[in-house]
Amino acid sequence: MAERSMNRSAATKLRGDVPSAPLPFVDSGSLLPRVTLVDVNTVRAVRGIGAESVVAAVECGRFRWVWNLAPNPDGRRRELRFLASEIWEVGSPKDPKEAVIAAMGSRHRLRIRVSELEHRWVVSHQLIDVLCDQDLLDSSMDSGTKWVSSESVDCFLTSRLVQ
């Protein structure tokens, strides 16, 4: 019987019901700055908490820089992305403008390759295509490469910051 209760305790910890410190072996330097936004599963892994705890932390404002990238922000399904530097606790922007620039990777370009956004934001090309189809991102094709304007990315991120 004692063995069974130890297994329940271990299972509770694995589910993330017991908050713990960030994992000590996570090397954020290998991901940053290439990946600027991370998904709920990454937050769960880095912070050692369950999905419900991540969502609760978003709702109470514990995470400051969170975006909902879903095509319909008022819909049932959210596509939450978190600023990677905040999750790994390696620095956090002071204001929304700085946070948007950090999420974009750079503001000094007129356009960004869609494949780069997919990688930076940990999203599928289908999501980016839907955002472009709904005119939430301004896209264009050039020599077989799909691009989005930096200005449209800036406006999109600014409007999708979870407050």
Full-model pTM: 0.76
Q: Kindly tell me the sign of the dihedral angle through the C-alpha atoms of 116, 134, 154, 103.
A: negative
Q: What is the mean pLDDT of the chain?
A: 82
Residue 22 — very low, low, confident or very high, per pLDDT cuts 50/70/90? very low
Q: With CA atoms as reference, report the closest residue to 138 among 112, 163, 158.
A: 112
Domain definitions of the chain by residue range:
32-160
Q: According to the model, what pLDDT value does residue 151 have?
A: 95
CA distance 21 to 11: 17
Q: What is the pLDDT of residues 77-98, one digit of tens each?
A: 899 999 998 998 877 888 999 9
